[in-house]
Amino acid sequence: MASSSALSRLSNLRRHFDPSKSSDSNKGVGLMKVSPEVSEALSNGGPVVALESTIISHGMPYPKNLETAKEVEAIVRDKGAVPATIAILDGIPCVGLSVIELERLAKLGTHAQKTARRDIAHVVASRGNGATTVSATMLIASMVGISVFVTGGIGGVHRNGESTMDISSDLTELGRTPVAVISAGVKSILDIPRTLEYLETQGVCVAAYKTNEFPAFFTQTSGCKVPCRVDTTEECARLIDANMKLGLGTGILIAVPIPQEHEASGSLIESAIQRALKEARDKNITGNAETPFLLARVNELTGGASLSSNIALVKNNALVGAEIAVALSHLRE
């Protein structure tokens, strides 16, 4: 069962934003809205899986994005957990979206602001609509007590990052927010070795599921070894539980390789990435616009193969992440 302090926090979370009820002790929870389904699961210590919303708004076109979002949530439910898609709608951070809210976000597409940690206050203050990235989703999930978060792939150190200093805030968030992120590794458009070095510097435990090698998003292998291997969802749950009980204050990255039957050709993907990178440089596309551009361009250059792989790996991550959340809930009983 949830602690009395958790129950008190959840009581606060059920309110929409009321400035008169907001205080420092609430740490932002008075600004949020938690769906009844998610609120009940958290109150009872049940398994909950956080899901990001940038993949819905910026990852694929409508209606494919809505269809995929519904399918991912269904996979989580089928495994016995409650999905909590996170987004900011009309300035209110929402944890757990209704079907109507999901459809609204899917139709908004890129008109919803891509929202990382740094953008949350602005989107809330301007009563805007924000699709949360990994960093923002982690932060909001942690605020309401969700320990497991499923995504496709995290951001990282961009290629040529040693000169541009273009490093995703996902990495620093993992270094300071105690949420376990289940992903297919780092997007292969990025510099994977440098990303792993940066995560080590941040003190983040990086584990690979049923393999000794860090996956490369579209492909199962990257050539980089991991310091930690976990072979069952129960092992993952014990790792998360130990991290929380020790109060380490850092996140955990659990990298799940894309299923072999959905793996894209490594050489095809890399060729497309190199061409897309050159086009991005020629067009001076930088910052948070670069990753959506690169992913979209790689999808075009591979004839849709990369998008198919992306959807497949997200669904697989949802399956594994839900099983981990269920195992963690049982462990904490």
Residue written as token pair 């996170």: 86
Q: What is the pLDDT of residues 178-218, one digit of tens each?
A: 999 999 998 778 899 999 999 999 999 999 999 999 998 88
Instruction: Using alpha carbons, select from 90, 97, 94 the residue that is nearest to residue 76.
Output: 97
Neighbours of 271 (CB within 10 A): 14
Which one has a higher pLDDT value, 70 or 303? 70
Confidence of residue 225 (pLDDT cuts 50, 70, 90): very high
Pull the structure tokens for residue 188.
Answer: 């292969």
CA angle 213, 54, 216 (to 5 degrees): 15
Bridge partners of residue 225, in order along the sequence: 213
Bridge partners of residue 51, in order along the sequence: 85, 150
CA angle 52, 53, 58 (to 5 degrees): 125
Is a pLDDT exceeding 80 seen at residue 67?
A: yes
Is a pLDDT exceeding 60 seen at residue 20?
A: no
For residue 258, the 8-state DSSP code is P
What is the secondary structure of 1-49 as a DSSP string? Answer: ---HHHHHHHHHHTSPP-GGG--GGGTTGGG-EE-HHHHHHHHTT--EE
Is a pLDDT exceeding 90 seen at residue 14?
A: no
Is a pLDDT exceeding 60 seen at residue 289?
A: yes
Is a pLDDT exceeding 60 seen at residue 18?
A: no
**104-109 LR contacts (CB < 8 Å, sep 24+):** 105/53, 105/56, 105/57, 105/129, 105/131, 106/56, 106/57, 106/62, 106/63, 106/65, 106/66, 106/69, 107/62, 107/66, 108/57, 109/57, 109/58, 109/61, 109/62, 109/65
Confidence of residue 16 (pLDDT cuts 50, 70, 90): very low
Bridge partners of residue 190, in order along the sequence: 158
pLDDT, average across residues 46-58:
96
Is a pLDDT exceeding 90 seen at residue 26?
A: no
Q: What is the pLDDT of residues 95-130, one digit of tens each?
A: 999 999 999 999 999 999 999 999 999 999 999 999
The rounded distance, in Å, linking the Cα atoms of 193 and 210 is: 20
Per the CB < 8 A criterion, the answer to whether 107 and 65 are in contact is no
Instruction: Using alpha carbons, select from 299, 276, 267, 311 the residue that is nearest to residue 190.
Output: 276
The rounded distance, in Å, linking the Cα atoms of 171 and 204 is: 9
3-class DSSP state for residue 151? Answer: coil
Query: Which of 117-121, 256-260, 290-294 has the lowest average pLDDT?
Result: 290-294
Is a pLDDT exceeding 70 seen at residue 3?
A: no
- pLDDT averaged over every residue in the chain: 90
Provide the pLDDT for residue 171: 97
pLDDT, average across residues 48-74:
96
Which one has a higher pLDDT value, 261 or 134? 134
Provide the pLDDT for residue 139: 98
Provide the pLDDT for residue 23: 39
Provide the pLDDT for residue 19: 34
For residue 198, the 8-state DSSP code is H
pLDDT, average across residues 321-333:
97
Residue written as token pair 């269809």: 67
Enumerate the active-site residues.
52, 187
